[in-house]
Amino acid sequence: MRPESNWRYMIVGIAFAIGGLFIIGQTVRVQVIPSSGDIIEGANVFAGHEQIIYPVRGQIYDRWGNVLAANKTVYEIGVDLRSVQSPEDIALVLSGLLEDDYDRLLALTSQEYIERIAVYNLLANFVSVEDVNKLRDMISTRNQAEAQGILDSGPNLTGLLFYPHLQRTYPEDDLASNVLGFVSQEGQGYFGVEEYYDDLLAGTPQKVWIPNDPNLVEELPEIPPGTDLVLTIDRNIQATVEDILDASVEEVGAVGGTIVVMHPQTGEILAMASTRRLDLNQYWNYAEVFPDPQLPFNTAVSKTFEPGSTFKILTMAAALDNGDVKPGTPFVDTGVIEIGGINIRNWNNAAWGPQTMTGCMQHSLNVCMAWLGQEMGADRYYEYLQNFGIGRNTGVDLAGESPGRLKIPGDGDWFPSELGTNTFGQGVSINMTQLMMATSSIINDGKMVTPHVVQSIVNPDNQYNITIQVAGEPLYKKTARQLNQMLTDSLVEEASDALVTGYSVAGKTGTSEIPTEFGYSLEQTHASFLGWGPVDDPQFMVYVWIEEPQTSPWGSVIAAPIFSEVVERLVVLMDIPPDALRASLKEAPVEEDAPEN
């Protein structure tokens, strides 16, 4: 080889070496200069895009497996602007099928296609499978006709695109709506279980990289679904209670009402019904059902009110437990007692004369209750109320619980007279689940149980069952059993309308006057009854609360019969035998096997 050829090859080699070094240098420089991130991100825009994959939302069941909240397939309908042939046909068909505005649709379908700027327009979302199938049938019919050379064979819907996704659905419409809450089209849970357990139900979204090159696209990863919930709610009990409540509210001309059924030994809520209920499949009508922003979605946990005489259960429990009185302790009711500078009188302004503590409960005597508060003293009385959980949330697993208010000595707005008025449920505000939790201590030998609506949390890997949660032990066992018997006897002795043939029940009526700027008046009341049974082995606790009844102000007249009606249905639905039958089964001798010959 000639020398000049060697020089040429050497020069070419050096040139390639310099070029290679330059490329390596540029690669390093792009990665380390301050704007390197922007350069790489710009390149990635053309390589692909990030997409968030959302899991399937968990379903909600009642305690027997009936579906209360599920998911259904719906569609987003859009238009590929590059492919549209007849904007007028698309706008006309969709406006008729979906009852949408023709001019709006025509403007969207007529928009000029501009690459990377105007490519796709959304026309409608959450369209049913049935409507999408109708559109597909139109497209298919036209395509078949054109294949056979038939022109003008129906509307030209070329360019329509359909993208399926899931939407929350509620098979029972408004059943247990106050407990369930709802999920918006954006996937956000509101109220009830849907809000309280939103993170569990929604699952964990994942980001995935989608290449623009279809040859590089891989199968999307399988995202674990959200957690399923099994509620303590019994669908049949819930439906029955809602029917009884609706009929009762209408019959007494009330503004509204709420009934809660709880298993007092476990805290499981079997039914929770309020009169304002929303069809959850049309949650956008929320403002029509709840026109006043102050109206609670679930009265049982979010509405606070003065409980009236049902609160006397806690006052008597505290006095018995503190050793101030016994069930047979005598008391002479003079019809008035002065505490903190005010005179407290009975509900009928009468003097009831000689009574026992059982008689005080039977006749619901305010004067007797105020005397008990005076005997205990403010510090000890309010200590008991705080131990009962009054003034703080129960922890019930529903969104929007309100704790109410318990003023205590030392608060700037507490007055000595309130030691008297609080003893019969005036001047203290609670929610319904608070009083049920506190009263459960009388049924469970002094232990309170936390109310809850979820029985089990289920995901693909495991199932977690909610156990009984003891919220405190404010009473001695002896106290609880004494008061249980007192409240049983008082109903029998007054021949209360709350009684149920064949079943022993205990409980207390309540009539709470609604505070106004002019004071308290019997013209506006809440009528209530809180009771449980069978007394020897309680399987249910029922709290009936009726808001501003018109036919009578009294809980004994309005709420007690409703309690009885609910219990008459409960014992059938829960398969609870009458007292006599259960007693005979307990006493029946166990038959032994005959000896073999």
The pLDDT of residue 36: 55
DSSP 593: P
* Geometric angle at alpha carbon 510, from 504 and 514, rounded to 5°: 165
Structure token pair of residue 445: 């030998």
So what's the pLDDT on residue 185?
86
Predicted confidence (pLDDT) per residue in 114-159, tens digit: 877 888 889 998 899 999 999 999 988 888 887 777 777 788 998 8
Burial status of residue 142 (CB atoms within 10 A of its CB: 0-12, 13-18, 19 or more): buried
Instruction: For residue range 223-234, list pLDDT tens digits in order.
Output: 888 999 999 999
Q: pLDDT digits over 378-431, tens only? A: 999 999 999 999 999 999 999 999 999 999 999 999 999 999 999 999 999 999
Asked if the peptide bond before residue 296 counts as cis, ω within 30 degrees of 0, the response is no
d(CA 291, CA 555): 28
Asked whether the beta carbons of 217 and 211 are under 8 A apart, the reply is yes
- 451-494 pLDDT, tens digit per residue, is 999 999 998 888 999 999 999 999 999 999 999 999 999 999 88
Going through 245-307 in order, the beta strands assigned E by DSSP cover 256-262, 269-274
Q: Indicate the domain borders of the chain.
A: 3-51, 53-227, 235-582
Contact (CB, 8 A) for 357 and 325: yes
Q: What whole-number distance in Å separates Cα of residue 221 and Cα of residue 213?
A: 18
| Position 278 confidence tier, pLDDT thresholds 50, 70, 90 | very high
What's the pLDDT band for 587 if we cut at 50, 70, 90? confident
The highest-level CATH class for domain 235-582 is alpha beta
342-345 vs 454-458, strand pairing mode:
unpaired
Of residues 589 and 534, more confidently modeled:
534
* Superfamily per CATH, domain 53-227: Penicillin-binding protein 2a (Domain 2) (3.90.1310.10)
Instruction: Give the pTM.
Output: 0.85
Binned at pLDDT 50, 70 and 90, residue 20 comes out as low
Given this model, what pLDDT does residue 279 score? 96
Quote the CA–CA distance of 182 and 159 in Å, as a whole number.
34
